[in-house]
Amino acid sequence: MLNKRFIRIFKHLMVAGSALTLATCASTLPQVQAESLPEDASQTAAAPSGKWLSLGELAARASREWPTEANETEGDLRVAESSHREDRKALDEGLHPLIMPLGEQPYPRLASHAKGSISVGTVTSGFLVQAAEIPIEGAHHRVLVKVSDRQTRFTTDEMRDLLMCAAKSVDHEVRGQKLGIGNLSRQGGGPLPWSVSHHNGRDGDLAFFARTPTGAVAVPEHLYHFGRDLQAADSPSPMHFDTQANWYLVKALLTCPNRPDIQHLFVASWLRDAILRYAHDKKEPKDLIAQAANILAQPHGALPHDDHLHIRIGCTGDDMTEGCIDASRAPVDAVGRTPGVQARLGAIRQALRSARSEVRAGAVRLLTLYRDDSSIAGIEKALGDVHATVRKAAADALAQWNPPGAVAALNSGLDGEVDAAVALAEMRALVALDAIPEMVARLQDFRVLESDRFDTPTVIVRKTSAELLADCGSFAVARAVLPLLTDDRMDVRDTARETLGRIANRTTADLLAEPGLLTGMGIESMADMGADNIGRDLERVVWAHFLEMLPEDASRDAVALTGLARRGIRVGSLDRGALPDLVRALLLPAPYRDNASRWIERIAQQKPVIGRGARANPAQFWPAWLVAKRLVSPTAVAGVAPAGGSGISADND
């Protein structure tokens, strides 16, 4: 028999619109781009006031505003793979090729005179447009076997021409030696799991030329480390550093006609010495040797570049007019403050009023990229454009930028939105901007926006709100979701159940078996009945009672860990020592698997966002990744990854 307490809870639940004190997503792990960095500082970047900053000022600002371990050094700034990557190759070899999907970077060419490829932003936070593709094999080069299926053979037109020229020159001087090419960039640029840089097509990893003990040309499949004795330390068969061919590579890179400006050639100090000694013995021109000595360098604060020659070229004039920045990192607003971009801004602003919807949408994207403060009102106004493409571009832009008034504009736009794709973009933008009260209000929005597009589902606003709030969930959010457990639509009820489960790390079945929970409601036992048979109203009351019984100061993590303990996995504190147990939890069903993955992301400070990875199949992704990063031992996670292989191999084969 139900007691008076049960009836009081039930009546309370029938009251809609209860005031809530809502937490934001601030407690969740910020999105980290697979081993990439925050925006870095630039030699030519500008402060928000428009004052141009010196390199030293930028270095100080970067250190103050964007502290990071995975940084790069350029003088006082860091520009090479960081020294904590002790087992880069283990991760390097095993990442599944699908993690680097092909795809061009959408980019509107407005008021632009740039031809061919475009490099935008910095090498650590930029992207690549209309990339030049390097063939997997040519007359004088080959993409390394262990790299060829990664889809990282894209670069700028200038880098492609330089590499092909250098490869041909070396082959002319040292017959039989083909240039081995490692990672360049993705087709659209952006982060690579293997490197801090390589974002915008201006970086390249070149394998060292090598020979076998008999003097025959060696054909490396990967980037092998060469010791101070010039012998490869980790190649499958013996090989040594071909000093002659590697000098001719450096020489060609510095002398090819019409070459772009070369900013850096990173190489280990002892390999640099060997190359320069050969050039001196060969009596190469003194000015050429001096030029090589000046540009060949071991980067500060990083592991020795003893497995490849890292080349970085500077921005071209055309690239600079699109926002290319020469130094390794810059504040996000620096892209729009280069002189070339400033000269184009007037025409791009005018494009907001174009009669063509694609031009208006392009203007919204560029003005957001360039952080043009004078265009904020125009971008917010675009949320009311007659064309859905423009409205969606505006929603995406405001989520990326978050200028003053963005939340109010997005929420207002969502009120009258009729297009499913735009409404979804606006809701995602609100979550990205931590507009949790606005999203909770959408739990009572009963609109259903149909879609006739294959890439956009029908948007049931209250259902989508519940889905998006799952990762931002506090117990206040959970209480707001409760009414959806009695919704008329089954898919809405299912989503509400999933969101509650994600927040509390429990299922309804867990609650029915919770010691003392039902007896506190005056119910003897319902564990035998099953979660599917208790009815909507009673399920809602059971969840409400569970939430009401939580201490006022209960943290989501603490409650979620008790849910995991009910499944036989007891975790003390959420630190590195918890990783083996959390990896075991990845084999459990949702919501335990999802929360375990969330905790691993937080502890490892890694949230993969490239292609298929932890989110697609965490039990495949995380064990080998954590082993490769030496965060857990192989024995600690033995047997966790299911048959069929993982997306990452910890083996160094």
pLDDT, tens digit (0-9, with 9 covering 90-100), for 202-243:
999 999 999 999 999 999 999 999 999 999 999 999 999 999
**Tokens 């001087």 sit on residue:** 173
Torsion of CA 130, 132, 136, 142, to 10 degrees: -150
pLDDT band for 641, please (50, 70, 90 cuts). low
Share the mean pLDDT of the chain.
83
Sequence spans of domains, the chain: 4-24+434-554, 132-318
pTM: 0.80
Cα angle for residues 312, 318, 321 (degrees, 5° grid): 105
What mean pLDDT comes out for the span 620-648?
73
pLDDT, tens digit (0-9, with 9 covering 90-100), for 260-295:
999 999 999 999 999 999 999 999 999 999 999 999
Would you say 239 and 220 are in contact if contact means Cβ atoms under 8 Å apart?
A: yes
Sign of CA dihedral 568, 570, 574, 576: negative
Distances (CA, A) of 3 to 7, 8, 154, 519, 599: 7, 9, 69, 10, 39
Quote the CA–CA distance of 601 and 618 in Å, as a whole number.
11
Question: Using H for helix, E for strand and C for coil, what is the string for 144-193?
Answer: CCCCHHHCCCEECHHHHHHHHHHHHHHHHHCCCCCEEECCCECCCCCCEC
Quote the CA–CA distance of 79 and 71 in Å, as a whole number.
7
What mean pLDDT comes out for the span 621-636?
86
What mean pLDDT comes out for the span 4-26?
43
pLDDT, tens digit (0-9, with 9 covering 90-100), for 499-547:
999 999 999 988 888 766 666 555 555 554 555 556 888 899 899 999 9
pLDDT, tens digit (0-9, with 9 covering 90-100), for 555-572:
999 999 999 999 999 998
Torsion of CA 530, 536, 541, 543, to 10 degrees: 60
Report residue 380 as tokens: 């917010």
pLDDT over 50 at 46, yes or no: no
What mean pLDDT comes out for the span 161-190?
96
Among 71-85, 118-132, 305-319, the least confident range:
71-85
pLDDT of residue 447: 97
Question: Using H for helix, E for strand and C for coil, what is the string for 235-294?
Answer: CCCCCEECHHHHHHHHHHHHHCCCCCCEEEEECCHHHHHHHHHHHHHCCCCHHHHHHHHH
Q: Taking phi first (over 0 means left), then psi (-120 to 50 degrees means alpha), and beta for anything else, what does residue 335 get? A: alpha
| Residue-wise DSSP of 108-124 | ---S----S-EEEB-TT
pLDDT above 90 coverage of the chain, percent:
65
pLDDT of residue 519: 62
Pick the closest to residue 324 from 42, 121, 112 (CA basis): 121
Instruction: Provide the residue type at 547 as one letter.
Output: L
Quote the CA–CA distance of 433 and 501 in Å, as a whole number.
24
Residue 195 bridge partners (DSSP): 192
> According to CATH, what is the number of the domain 132-318?
3.30.1380.10
Q: For residues 244-272, b (16+ Cβ closer than 10 Å) or e, as one string?
A: bbbbbbbbbbbebeebbeebbbbbbebbb
Q: What is the number of residues in the chain?
A: 653
pLDDT, tens digit (0-9, with 9 covering 90-100), for 414-434:
999 999 999 999 999 999 999
What mean pLDDT comes out for the span 364-380?
97
Quote the CA–CA distance of 389 and 386 in Å, as a whole number.
9
